[in-house]
Amino acid sequence: MRVTIADVARVAGVSKTTVSRVLNTRSEVDRSTAARVREVIDRMGYVPSSGAVGLARGSSRTIGMLVPSLTWPWMGEVVQGVVDTLEAAEFGLLLFTCNRGTESVERFTSQVSARAFDGLLVVEPENTLDMLTALHRKGLPVVLIDDRGHHPDFPYVTAANHEGGAAAARHLLSTGRRRPLVLTGPTRFGCVRDRLAGFRTTYAEHGHALDSGLVVESDFTEADGREAVRRMVREGRDFDAVFAHNDLGAVGAMAALRASGLGVPDDVAVIGFDDIPMAPLTEPSLTTVRQPMRRMGETAAGMLLARLAGGTATAAPVVLPTELVVRQSAPAAAG
């Protein structure tokens, strides 16, 4: 049976609060009492929970993180950035996913009610923004990662999606590509609208309006990217480049181009978005717009820790730069 803080308190002849204060190295406990409590802890093999350690300081030293799923290709990078920052500050992480829909949300809200964590980091699952806003207004510190264009009234970290789209356009234009096929993600996402706007505006500034028939909404999957390109080829659409709003869509596009007898990049250049781990491993290697996913996690966690340490609350967003990574699927123009 697991030894509890109550067991330690009983054997040491002190209160649970005193045990917690010893665990937190608080000065309110005299030396002889603290020494006795530590001796009991060592003898009984007590391993403190985050809740016990935080009892005296009024916090759990644990951060909650809510994400839609861990299967998204870039989610691991975000979580790793969060973990690196929290561990350096000696905070723990309690991770929640929404794989089971309403059931997952109910389990998450029960943990909020139990005050299992001090603050919350969120990669927003569908249809949860109202709930998150309500939690923030009730006093729970919340920081959003990748705002999806919703611009909440609490802090968030996002990437420069508009500039990322513009960078992809400038690169294709510099290599003489004038008729790009654009595979967007779901247009309800703000990041998608921003990427398209940056790309479209840059082409227009160079005197080339995008063909509306070559702007295709997809669902961010490899299969949908493959099918969209296959359909465009079947319909006889003329395009010399593909700008996919995520790398999986770009991978699907390259597969469909190869199956149709078109060469990448000789016939059609391809650019993705994200720079997931598989991007440099594709054949040819994928040119893409890199999102600083790990840095987004680090930045969001740092913002939340600063808030917990008494920093001023602000809803001002932090926008991190994107970077075009040129590889073989859309090489630079020959100099």
Three-class secondary structure of residue 67 per DSSP: strand
Burial class for 13, CB neighbours closer than 10 Å (0-12, 13-18, 19+): exposed
Over residues 160-173, the mean pLDDT reads: 98
Tokens of 334: 């020959």
CA 62 – CA 115 distance, rounded (Å):
10
For residue 25, pLDDT over 70 is answered with no
What 8-state DSSP symbol labels residue 322?
A: P
pLDDT at res. 1? 58
For residue 179, pLDDT over 80 is answered with yes
Over residues 238-251, the mean pLDDT reads: 98
Does the reported pTM lie above 0.75? yes
pLDDT at res. 2? 63
Would you say 272 and 244 are in contact if contact means Cβ atoms under 8 Å apart? yes
| Range list of H helices, the chain | 5-12, 16-23, 31-44, 50-53, 75-88, 102-113, 129-137, 161-174, 190-205, 222-234, 247-259, 293-308
At residue 112 the predicted structure's pLDDT band, cuts being 50, 70 and 90, is confident
CA 249 – CA 183 distance, rounded (Å):
7
Of residues 104 and 204, more confidently modeled = 204
For residue 311, pLDDT over 80 is answered with no
For residue 120, pLDDT over 60 is answered with yes
Strands, sheet with 119-122, edge to edge from the N-terminal-most edge strand: 92-97, 62-67, 119-122, 142-145, 156-159, 318-320
For residue 72, pLDDT over 90 is answered with no
CA 132 – CA 35 distance, rounded (Å):
44
pLDDT at res. 218? 94
pLDDT at res. 251? 98
Over residues 116-124, the mean pLDDT reads: 91
Strand partners, 43: none
- Other CB atoms closer than 10 Å to residue 326's CB: what's the count? 13
CA 303 – CA 295 distance, rounded (Å):
12
For residue 104, pLDDT over 50 is answered with yes
CA 258 – CA 283 distance, rounded (Å):
10
pLDDT at res. 57? 47
pLDDT at res. 127? 81
| Lowest mean pLDDT across 53-67, 185-199, 253-267, 286-300 | 53-67
What is the full DSSP assignment across 132-158?
HHHHHHTT--EEEES-TT---SS-EEE
Q: Which of 198, 130, 204 is nearest to 165 (CA)?
A: 198
Of residues 12 and 50, more confidently modeled = 12
pLDDT at res. 137? 87
At residue 50 the predicted structure's pLDDT band, cuts being 50, 70 and 90, is very low
What 8-state DSSP symbol labels residue 14?
A: S
At residue 49 the predicted structure's pLDDT band, cuts being 50, 70 and 90, is low
Three-class secondary structure of residue 120 per DSSP: strand
What does the pLDDT look like over 13-23, one tens digit per residue? Answer: 998 888 877 77
Q: Which of 320, 321, 299, 312 is nearest to 86 (CA)?
A: 299
CA 253 – CA 249 distance, rounded (Å):
6
What does the pLDDT look like over 272-300, one tens digit per residue? Answer: 999 999 999 999 999 999 999 999 999 99
pLDDT at res. 55? 47
For residue 312, pLDDT over 70 is answered with no
